[in-house]
Amino acid sequence: MISYRTVESWQRLILYVFVAALGFVFLFPFFWMIVSSLKLNKDVLAIPIRFFPSPWNWKSYVNVFTMFPDFNFPRFILNSVIVTAAAVLLCLFFSATAGYGFAKFRFKGNNLLFTIVLATIMITFEAIVVPLYILVRQLGISNTYWGLIIPESLTAFGVFMLRQFFYALPDDFLESARIDGANEYVIFARIGLPMAKTALLALVIFHAQWVWNLLLWPMITISEPSLRVLPQGIALFKGGYNTPYPEQLAVSVIACLPLVLLYIFLSKYFVQGITMTGLKG
C-alpha cells in the first residue's frame, strides 16, 4: 500500500517539474534574445539553428549607439525615462487622492462614481485612441512630452488599487488625528500616504512597465524624431539595405534592464502591496 508520504512526495515532484517547465517557457525567449544579440547578423536566422554565437559579437551593443546616426538611442532612452517618471508620479498622486476620497469620505454618489471608474477598465485603449488624439491636438500638446505624459497620468486600476488599501485602513488612526486637531490634508499626507507605502510601490511597478512599454500612443502622437521614446525607436529601427538583427536585439535587451532592476529592488513591496490591497473590498 502506498503511504501518504510517498503520494505527497510524488505530488511535490510533479509540481516542481510543472513550475520548472513553465519557468522555462517564460524565460527562454529572453535567453534567446540575449544570446542572439551577441551573434553576427548572418547567424541570427541561420539554418541549422546555432544556439550559441561563434564568435561572440559584443560590438552589437556598441554599434547601437555609434553606427546609426538616424536613431539617437541615448535620446530615446532619456525620453522614455522622462515620460515614465512623470507619468508614474502623476499617477501615484491622482490614484492616491482619488482612492483615499472613495474609501474614507461618504458622499452622495460615492459608490456610483466608483462603479463608473471601475467600468472604464473594460474599455480598451485602442477604443479611445482616436478621440484622445483629437483632444490632444486641440490642446496643442501633440509632439510634446505632455502629449505622452498626461494621457498616461491616471488609470482606473490605480484608483481601484489604492481605494482597496485605504478601505482596509482602520478609521481609528484618522479619528485620533482629527481629535488632535489635524485637518484632512495633514491626515492624508502624514498618516494615509506613509501607511500606503507598499501599495504605492506596487503601483509604481505596474504603471512603470505599462508606460515604458507603450508603443501605439507614441507612434500616433509623436512624429518629431528627437521626441521618440525607446519602444518607438526600436519599432522603427532598421538599416539602409538590411535589418541589423543583433543591434535590434541588443537595444531590446537594454530596454528590458530598467524594468528588471525596478522589479528586483521593489519586489518585496510588490508582493506585500498586492496582498494588502487584494483582501478587502
79: closest CA among 251, 222, 206?
222
Residue 234 carries which side chain, given as an amino acid letter? Answer: I
Mean pLDDT lowest for which of 54-58, 88-92, 139-143?
Answer: 54-58
Backbone angles phi, psi at 252, to 5 degrees: -70, -40
Give the pLDDT of residue 3. Answer: 64
Q: H helices of 150-196, where?
A: 156-168, 171-179, 184-187, 193-195
Q: Where are any strands of DSSP class E within 21-67?
A: none
28-87: pLDDT as tens digits: 888 888 888 888 878 777 778 777 777 888 888 888 888 888 888 899 999 999 999 999
pLDDT higher than 70, residue 274: no
* pTM for the whole structure: 0.84
CA distances from 247 to 78, 104, 105, 164, 236 (A): 19, 51, 53, 44, 13
Q: Alpha-carbon distance 33 to 251, whole Å?
A: 10
Give the pLDDT of residue 197. Answer: 85
Q: What is the mean pLDDT of residues 213-223?
A: 91
147-175: pLDDT as tens digits: 999 998 888 888 988 888 888 887 787 88
Spell out the domains of the chain, with CATH numbers in brackets: 68-278 (1.10.3720.10)
Q: What percent of the chain is predicted at pLDDT more than 70?
A: 93
Q: Residue 111 in contact with residue 185, Cβ under 8 Å?
A: no
83 three-state secondary structure? helix
Q: Give the cell for residue 131.
A: 478621440
Terminal Cα distance for the chain, rounded? 47
Q: Residue 220 in contact with residue 133, Cβ under 8 Å?
A: yes
Give the pLDDT of residue 36. Answer: 86
Give the pLDDT of residue 236. Answer: 86
Q: Alpha-carbon distance 227 to 236, whole Å?
A: 13
